Amino acid sequence: MQRGLPMQPTVVLLKEGTDTSQGKAQLLSNISACLAIAGTLASTLGPRGMDKLIVNERGDAQITNDGATILKLLDIVHPAARTLVDIARAQDAEVGDGTTSVVLLAAQLLKEVRGYIEEGVSPHIIMKGFRQASQIALQRIKEIQVSVDRSDPERFRSLLIKCASTSMSSKLIHSEKPFFANMVVDAVMCLDQDDLDESLIGVKKIPGGGMQDSLLINGVSFKKTFTYAGAEQQPKSFRDPLIVSLNVELELKAEKDNAEVRVEAVSDYQAIVDAEWEIIYRKLEAIEKTGAKVVLSKLPIGDLATQWFADRDIFCAGRVAAADLQRVVQAVGGSIQSTCSDIRREHLGTCGKFDERQIGGERYNVFEECPKSKTCTLLLRGGAEQFIEEVERSLHDAIMVVKRAVKNGEIVAGGGAIEMDLSAHIRKHALSIPGKTQLVMTAFAKALEVIPRQICDNAGLDSTDVLNKLRMKHANGSKWFGVDVDGPEGVRDNMEAFVWEPSLVRVNAISSATEAACLILSVDETVRNPQSEAPNPGPQAPPGTAQRALRGRGRGVPRR
């Protein structure tokens, strides 16, 4: 018997069928997946970007060029590529704009260092260089960003309009920029300037009409709710009405299917019915005593209550959406009551004017001239539903950009100007650093140029020629020169051309893109667990037998 070390037993760690991929090949595969996503989004960037028409499994079509929306609709399953989906969503939630830019930038960072990975450079050296370059870029933005003087309201408003216009320049509504930019700025200035909660800007989509028929209601407006008999006899217009907001059901309750009431005489049954009517009449009288002329409730208001209010010249609306009712309270004051007893004057709100009006094919309840108005409603008009939805997404981006400009007040020039300046600055700094980090930082600087290059490509300009001009301008100290898609030169001073955006948009995009690139570079192995498979119906069963058997059961259908 041969002496030596005892045989080690084989240890099975992972479930049978688990797929593992690792090493350099896996890292390069992840980079290729990210580049494929960037290739899909690249043509949507800039003022001449194209739109994507995406059809889901139900056949619903959406037309958009918003990066976060496209990635959400594409339903990407590649695990590494989902990182780019996450940074696009984070950019959308945080600053609202720059979702396409952040994905292109992250993918371009990976593309620039793919050659170094193939040659065996450690990913940790690349990640260290990226983080250093990112810090230099963010520091440079802080140095050159332009702070806006808020003391002059007219100039500050002008700045906000220019930021909103820049955000819309690549959207479907770019032809109506002045109209919608003013509307967006008015909407943001309606909000409480301390928290600027954009969810208090209601958006209602009404098919029909043109874009110019869109309205900004400085108050609250919502579609006429489901109404019962008697609603048409109610008054539809008031001046300075008292408004009560309820979370109470004003309807005769139907008995439950399994309810059982045992009575000895008919009079006992009548007493039960009378008690039910007594309860609802007591609620209605309590509401009337408050002096309210407009009654809104989150829960149904039945035909009895509707007719009762109509006889007393009171307007009521039941089944009001929770978000709409919350915005009514923000605008008119008061609070939502969960009981009809003990409603006092401080619980009621008021507005200067309430009316029900026809807008397109729908009727809308409109509350205007609200004393505490910290909310507003955008009524969007347009031909196709997909068009109105894209207008809504475009306005959301513009609202978020204006909100950030109000909160921060620092701006930079758009159109690739800030990226070109950062690229020149990082290149210059990289020359002072020895070793491989210099190459990585130069790659970072080159990756930043993807934004102006893609804007040129999408506009049909010669990107090589335009980038050479921009490099020369930035080398000579003209830090705000960017791409001009309209002029013959192809370049211009975008600060003077009023192509402005909040510096926070770029700060967030560069930080997120760097983190995403470093995250993907740090992954060297993917472990994919096997999916649980459906049970096999057996070799003796002909094809389709299992499906037919399943369809036949459970609904009273006999098996054949």
Active-site amino acid positions: 66, 99-100, 397
Task: Name the residue among 509, 508, 488, 415 with its Cα closest to residue 453.
Answer: 415
CA 234 – CA 237 distance, rounded (Å): 9
Q: Please give the Cα distance from 97 to 396 (Å, whole number).
A: 9
Please report, for residues 20, 141, 184, 192, the alpha-carbon distance to residue 150 in angstroms, rounded to integers and kept in the order given.
57, 20, 18, 17
**Helix ranges (DSSP H) in 169-248:** 177-190
Query: Helix, strand, coil: what percent of the chain each, to 5?
Result: 50, 15, 35
**Residue 455: C-alpha distances to residues 1, 364, 424, 461, 463 (Å):** 76, 42, 18, 9, 8
Question: What SS3 state is found at 315?
Answer: strand
483, containing H or E segment = strand 481-483
Asked if 95 and 506 touch (Cβ cutoff 8 Å), the reply is: no
Q: Which residues are 207's β-sheet partners?
A: 382
Measured distance CA(517)–CA(489) in Å, rounded? 34
Question: Pairing between strand 215-217 and 336-337?
Answer: unpaired
In sequence order, the β-bridge partners of residue 316 are: 295
The tokens 């979370």 sit on which residue?
247
The strand pair at 315-317 and 294-297 is best described as: parallel
The helix or strand, by DSSP H or E, that contains position 370, with its residue range, turns out to be none
